[in-house]
Amino acid sequence: MHFREEQLDAFQYVTGLLKGRLKVLLLDGESGRNTPAPDAPLPDLTALQRECGERGIEAELQRGRGIALKEIVRESRFADLLLIDRETSLNNLYDADVPGFIKDVPADAQCPVMVLPAETGLFKEVVFTYNGSYSSVYAIREFMQLFPHLNGKKATVIYVPEKGIPIIPNEQLLNDYLRFYFTDVTFLVLNGLPDAEIRRYLQDKKDCVAVMGAYGRNTFSRFFNPGNARNMMRMLNVPIFITHP
């Protein structure tokens, strides 16, 4: 697997925010499910290990062939956050398996997942998707427990009425909770289909991270359905944090 400098920049940045340790699962040459790609060479870890050392990244590298989705899920059970690089990690997989892989991992993972774009900027803003459900608040809490040091940044809450009622459920309670972490909190009501409106709002965003729980698995799956997986992965230029109870 050929790691790009921008990819290591993102891993280093997120790991630094977490004040954590990085474990790299090398899935080069296989589909993320069960079938290895034919004649795929094993990646050389020497350069990557050296680069991590020079950057001061405390990293463990695990090389394997034919690592199935269930093994990734097993690893996620003992992790705080699973990072997926959408470019390097997914471009090396069979095209037919990309939509299934990118949908199944966030849905099945037993820890929060963050999908990283080609280039990850600083997290100057956090965009929370919210619909009043327990899962939406759960995602917000999980994110803040992992990234409490983002306080002082801007927080934007996106609400898309699913029944045509533009009243944000428990807005004051959520505002009080978020202001414990942020001084700048904005609530934004968008009208339309949740997946389309969230996608439209995020596609021109930079230097922020989006948190999905409210519209989580269903919306995320539609983002990466077989018909538009490649285009959509390249349209969104922000990291997406997704989790579910």
In contact, 23 and 62? CB cutoff 8 Å: yes
pLDDT under 50: residue ranges of the chain: 1-2, 29-40, 42, 92-99, 224, 226-232
Instruction: Using DSSP, state whether 157 is helix, strand or coil.
Output: strand
For 30, the 3-state DSSP assignment is strand
125-242: same fold as 5-116? Answer: yes
Q: Report d(CA 206, CA 123) in Å as an integer.
A: 9
| Angle at the Cα of 134 from the Cα atoms of 83 and 149, rounded to 5 degrees | 45
- For 208, phi then psi, to 5°, come to -150, 170
pLDDT of residue 219: 55
Dump pLDDT digits (tens) for 197-220. 888 999 889 899 999 885 555 555
Predicted confidence at residue 5, as pLDDT, reads 72
What gap in Å lies between CA 151 and CA 144, rounded to an integer? Answer: 9
Q: DSSP character for 54?
A: H
Closest CA to 122 of 76, 97, 154: 154
- Give the pLDDT of residue 227: 43
pLDDT for 44: 61
Smallest CA-to-CA distance from 174 within 220, 113, 208, 131 is with 131
Highest CATH level, class, for 5-116: alpha beta
Q: Return the pLDDT at 128.
A: 95
In whole angstroms, give the CA distance from residue 17 to residue 205.
21
| Predicted pLDDT of residue 14 | 94
Residue type, 179: R
Q: In the beta sheet, which residues pair with residue 127?
A: 156, 210
Report how far Cα 159 is from the mean position of its chain's Cα atoms.
Answer: 20
Token digits for 180?
């414990």
Q: What is the pLDDT of residue 162?
A: 79
Q: How far is C-alpha 67 from the chain's CA centre? A: 20
CA-derived radius of gyration, the chain: 18
Q: What is the pLDDT of residue 213?
A: 80
Fold of 125-242: Rossmann fold (3.40.50)
Is the alpha carbon torsion for 194, 199, 200, 205 positive or negative?
A: positive
Distances (CA, A) of 48 to 17, 87, 106: 21, 17, 26
Amino acid at the residue 177 = Y
- pLDDT for res 29: 44
The domain limits of the chain are 5-116, 125-242
